[in-house]
């Protein structure tokens, strides 16, 4: 048996230490420092986009993108019901209302066939979330946005380097937000990035990120709008630069790990995997399975308990936005049909998914899942 196998841990195998030590030795530890610019440039190059603005986490990256898009009071933003709570909260921070759309049964992304019925005269934007590293059906989403004159903000917190029809995340929407939390494919501990090809959105992002200090002219301490301090430190950016230099390695590792999981798990009765569509590169942020209790012979909670005794950590999946008391109190519409999200929440779990997880450990995990199945 292996020692405790966590669901995720950061993999810091490049220049992280060297760059961070450079920050400490030179005293450049605030948000002014060469690594901030270097990280933004490297990350923009990695995504193949014109502009990148780093911020202190992924949640504020979403908020800042919404503010740059001009989203505010009385506006509605369409988001997936099955997502991390930050997608919804960021819309609330902007003073707007998140409107939920159920997940789709194969990719677990937003069901694009159910978006149009949620569009009203107040709708201003659609926020697709590339769940677990799988980009959404962006052609359909962008066509709807064009038809109804909406903006598209991709929440790509889980999908650094993912591709849709040959295009990388960052190029699939008007503006895109990334997270660099410790468990994400590229990490700075805490951190985020807003990327876009639109110069006007870029300038607004820069402006609101730094307390609405004027982007040009003298610093006269006169502020025309209410801004935010969402700056990232040079130390975080130093880690981010080192991580981005190796981002393609981490991507390959996560895809390889997912492949091993899939080949071992696909023949176990009652184990359901995320289905990757043909025209995408899924970067597999989290290896997730859904349990069909009748076929597997145990329910999800029983499997999680069993894996715990084998030193394997697992986690529950997101609870749908339509079940969040905070969002109900905020005034969101909680009614509707969210059966796919509810199915995922009830029967799904994350398996260990760190980039540097060894093949032996993945095989061990899969064997335990196989052994526990009731023949
Ligand atoms: C992680 C995550 C976020 C939030 O990022 P933080 O950096 O933790 O604030 C937002 N959306 C999704 C889908 C995420 O997975």
| Cα–Cα distance measured from residue 267 to residue 280, given in angstroms and rounded to the nearest whole number | 24
Q: Identify the pLDDT of residue 96.
A: 98
Residue 60 Cα: closest atom of ligand 1: 9
- Give the span between the Cα atoms of 46 and 41, in whole angstroms: 9
- Output the average pLDDT for the chain: 97
Q: 102, 98, 96, 172: which is closest to 134 by C-alpha?
A: 172
Question: Per residue in 324-370, pLDDT tens?
Answer: 999 999 999 999 999 999 999 999 999 999 999 999 999 999 999 99
Tens digit of each residue's pLDDT (9 = 90 or more) over 183-207: 999 999 999 999 999 999 999 999 9
Task: Give yes or no for residue 321 CB within 6 A of ligand 1.
Answer: no
Contact 202, 226 (CB under 8 A): no
How many angstroms separate the alpha carbon of residue 243 from the centre of ligand 1?
Answer: 18
The crossing angle, in degrees rounded to 10, of helices 34-47 and 234-245 is: 30
State mean pLDDT over 226-248: 98
Residue 320: pLDDT band by 50, 70, 90 thresholds? very high
Report how far ligand 1's centroid is from the alpha carbon of 338 (Å).
22
Residue 294 per-residue DSSP state: H
Cα 296 to ligand 1 centre (Å): 31
- Average pLDDT for 24-44: 96
Please give the Cα distance from 34 to 19 (Å, whole number).
Answer: 10
**Whole-angstrom Cα Rg for the chain:** 21
Q: At what angle do helices 300-309 and 359-372 cross, to 10 degrees?
A: 130
Q: So what's the pLDDT on residue 1?
A: 81
How many CB atoms are located within 10 Å of the residue 331 CB? 9
Please tell me if the CB atom of residue 324 comes closer than 6 angstroms to any atom of ligand 1: no
Instruction: Choose the weakest-confidence range: 1-5, 112-116, 179-183, 298-302.
Output: 1-5
Q: Is 181 in the pocket of ligand 1 (CB under 6 A)?
A: yes
Residue 245's pLDDT is: 98
Distance CA 296, CA 16 (A): 43
Q: What is the pLDDT of residues 99-109, one digit of tens each?
A: 999 999 999 99
Atom of ligand 1 nearest to the CA of 87: 11
Q: Alpha-carbon distance 343 to 341, whole Å? A: 5
Strand 163-164 and strand 280-281: pairing? antiparallel
Between the CA of 309 and the centroid of ligand 1 the distance, in Å, is: 30
Check: CB of residue 253 under 8 Å from CB of residue 279. no
| Pocket flag, ligand 1, residue 178 (CB < 6 Å) | no
| 192 within ligand 1 shell (Cβ under 6 A) | yes
Q: Among 10, 66, 77, 86, which residue has the most ligand 1 atoms within 8 Å of its CB, making it the best to mutate?
A: 86
pLDDT of 375 = 73
If you measure from the C-alpha of residue 61 to the centroid of ligand 1, how many angstroms do you get, rounded to a whole number? 9
Going by pLDDT thresholds of 50, 70 and 90, the confidence category of residue 217 is confident
CA angle 112, 115, 118 (to 5 degrees): 170
The residue assigned the tokens 């997940």 is 103
How many CA atoms lie within 13 Å of 183's alpha carbon, on the beta-carbon side?
15
Angle at which helices 247-265 and 234-245 cross, to 10°: 60
The pair phi, psi for residue 126, each rounded to 5°, is -120, 135
Tell me if 345 CB under 6 Å of ligand 1: no
């Amino acid at each position: 048996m292996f020692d405790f196998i966590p669901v995720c841990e950061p993999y810091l195998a490049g220049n992280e230490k060297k760059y961070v030590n450079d920050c400490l030795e030179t005293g450049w530890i605030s948000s002014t420092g060469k690594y901030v610019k270097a990280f933004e440039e490297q990350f923009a190059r990695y995504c193949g986009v014109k502009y990148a603005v780093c911020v202190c986490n992924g949640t504020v990256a979403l908020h800042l993108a919404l503010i740059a898009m001009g989203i505010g009071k009385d506006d509605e933003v369409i988001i997936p019901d099955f997502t991390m709570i930050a997608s919804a909260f960021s819309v609330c921070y902007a003073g707007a209302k998140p409107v939920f759309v159920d997940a789709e049964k194969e990719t677990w992304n937003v069901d694009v066939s159910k978006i149009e019925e949620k569009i009203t005269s107040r709708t201003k934007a659609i926020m697709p979330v590339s769940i677990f590293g799988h980009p959404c059906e962006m052609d359909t989403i962008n066509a709807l946005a064009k038809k109804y004159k909406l903006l598209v903000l991709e929440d790509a917190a889980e999908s650094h380097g993912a591709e849709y029809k040959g295009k990388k995340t960052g190029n699939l929407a008007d503006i895109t937000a990334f997270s660099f939390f410790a468990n994400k494919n590229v990490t700075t501990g805490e951190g985020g990035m807003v990327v876009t090809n639109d110069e006007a959105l870029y300038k607004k992002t820069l402006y609101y990120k730094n307390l609405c200090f004027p982007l040009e002219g003298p610093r006269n301490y006169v502020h025309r709008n209410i801004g935010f301090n969402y700056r990232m430190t040079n130390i975080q950016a130093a880690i981010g630069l080192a991580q981005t230099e190796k981002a393609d390695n981490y991507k390959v590792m996560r895809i390889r790990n997912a492949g091993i999981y899939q080949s071992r798990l696909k023949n176990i009765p009652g184990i359901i995997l995320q289905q990757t569509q043909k025209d995408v590169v899924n970067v597999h942020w989290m290896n997730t399975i859904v349990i069909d209790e009748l076929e597997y012979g145990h329910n999800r909670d029983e499997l999680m308990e069993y894996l715990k005794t084998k030193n394997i950590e697992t986690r529950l999946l997101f609870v749908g936005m339509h079940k969040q008391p905070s969002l109900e109190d905020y005034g969101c519409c909680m009614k509707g049909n969210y059966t796919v999200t509810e199915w995922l929440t009830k029967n799904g779990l994350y398996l260990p998914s760190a980039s540097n997880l060894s093949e032996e450990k993945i095989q061990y995990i899969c064997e335990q899942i196989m052994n526990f199945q009731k023949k």
